[in-house]
């Protein structure tokens, strides 16, 4: 039981990567706002960009199927 409490305590207090996650969420929010304001002719180009970003992230993390 003590080992589970120790693990929980370490995970709860670990803040590594927190800033990166906040920036990623902010980027997603801003991109949705921009995506909503752009005319329809630009949306296919944005889809291509997001697909490339996804492909790069998948290749770096090896987590995508």
Query: Could you read off the pLDDT of 14-46 as tens digits, one per residue?
Result: 777 677 778 888 988 988 888 778 777 777 877
**Average confidence (pLDDT) over 59-65:** 76
Q: Which residues of 13-42 are buried (b: 16+ CB within 10 A; e: fewer)?
A: eeeeeeeeeeeeeeeeeeeeeeeeeeeeee
Residue 1 pLDDT: 61
Looking at per-residue confidence, does 1 or 59 come out higher? 59
Query: pTM for this one?
Result: 0.41
Yes or no: say if 42 and 32 are a contact pair by the CB < 8 Å rule.
Answer: no
């Amino acid at each position: 039981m003590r080992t589970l409490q120790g693990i929980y305590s370490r995970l709860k207090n670990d803040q590594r990567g927190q800033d990166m996650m906040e920036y990623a969420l902010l980027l997603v929010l801003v991109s949705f706002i921009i995506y909503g304001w752009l005319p329809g002719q630009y949306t296919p180009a944005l889809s291509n960009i997001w697909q490339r970003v996804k492909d790069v992230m998948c290749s770096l993390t090896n987590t995508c199927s």
